[in-house]
Structure 1
């Protein structure tokens, strides 16, 4: 299994690791700071560095061959098993993911409906809500700005699977369920605002989200309303 350093500290941008295996298109490592695609959040990109060589990491994903291992997709011939490498992630991409992902939790607090779709990328984030209620774009925008400005602390903690079973309302997503079998579940708490299971990367205070805007609200189906977020340009902040 790959030790997931990003679960405890999303600010880590580099670490030392050892290649455990080559897989098609990349390598698995014994430990990493790179977040793998999952839970709606895109995987990290960056570099592997060893012996004066640099391999561009084009994506990070969960291994299809080894349960619990994380695959780092690289350009060119990957380093061999046993190679000691330095993992470096794209800091700007990671920060965008952290800001957008935390902003989607604020959306969940403002819109109390089940979530049936999610996408968090470097340039936008979207949530699909299971409801036929109309959304007020200006009201959502004002609510986001208020929660960001209030500077709520953001932290994660772990609860047992039994605690989750006793509080099923914590799970907001209809499409992505918390992983089972480990005996514990990671939850993300925005103090006084939101609490729900989440394995993604986040900022440590809502003030760090900065200026985000609601770029679009769509009616995707009779029972689905989509909200898309973007980063505000300087003139919009």
Structure 2
């Protein structure tokens, strides 16, 4: 039986703590709640880590967060060897905020890269310090210094980043919103979540279920570490925090 977890992070990525109720325990000891602030691994972004505080004051360390039988079921995987809460118990959730914030900044940086390089995306992976986006490009024609400069122009412009929901019908009428070459966002739920950049989404708008900072300025200084050839028409751009290294 699959449960539906209310994903609070979809509307507010800045929630660091909240209270929830345990609704199920999986055969492998995973914890399912009625609501959560923990992002589940998806779309190239890793799931959150953190802890639960139990009613008796005990803590449960959470090592990873994943989806279950459906994307709506979110399972919190505790570190082995801990006493687990029981169904019906109330717990207080706390995510590892410094890690989450790095992932939010980096995920937003990946969106900015898709603006600078407007080509079909063939893959992506978000990490705390070194992320990648793969594009379907026969020949980049780009130097990493040029891409870095254009990324930083978007960062310095401090454009707002916000969430907008559209209907399945609106999404079907705007196929150009999808930047991924091989993966389409799930439809059929009645609405699609868009991550928008710029006033009235003038910089970018694309379907995404991840967590992002509230403005491009919050991304901070980033640079392209390298551009790698990963096939005849596939180029991998690696994004890193901080200024480019001095050669």
TM range (shorter): over 0.9
Q: Which residue matches 1:117?
A: 123
> 1:219 — aligned with what?
229
Query: SS of 2:66's equivalent?
Result: strand
**What is the deviation of 1:91?**
0.4
Query: For the residues of structure 1 that align with 2:229 and 2:159, how far apart are their CA atoms?
Result: 31
C-alpha displacement of 1:78: 2.3
Could you tell me how far apart the structure 2 residues matched to 1:130 and 1:22 are? Answer: 42
Q: Give the structure 1 partner of residue 172 of structure 2.
A: 165
Superposed, which structure 2 residues align to 1:72-111 within 5 Å? 72-75=76-79, 76-111=82-117
Please list every run of 5 or more consecutive structure 1 residues that lacks an aligned counterpart in the other structure.
none
Q: CA RMSD in A?
A: 1.5
Question: Per the alignment, in what secondary structure is the counterpart of residue 138 of structure 1?
Answer: helix
1:206 alignment partner in structure 2: 216
Q: Give TM-score, length-normalised by structure 2.
A: 0.91
- Return the offset for 1:233: 6.1
Among 7, 17, 27, the residue aligned to 2:10: 7
Q: How many angstroms does 1:175 deviate by? A: 3.4
For structure 2, list consecutive stretches of 5 or more residues without a partner in the other structure.
Answer: none
Point out 4+ residue stretches in structure 1 off by more than 4 angstroms: 233-236
Equivalent residue for 1:47? 51
TM-score, structure 1 as length reference: 0.95
Counting matched residue pairs gives 235
Higher strand share: 1
How many Å separate the matches in 2 of 1:6 and 1:189?
16
Instruction: Give the whole-Å Cα distance in 2 for the aligned partners of 1:129 and 1:118.
Output: 9
Conserved in 1, the CA contact under 8 Å of 2:223 and 2:244?
no
* Structure 1 counterpart of 2:156, from 136, 144, 149: 149
1:63 corresponds in structure 2 to 68
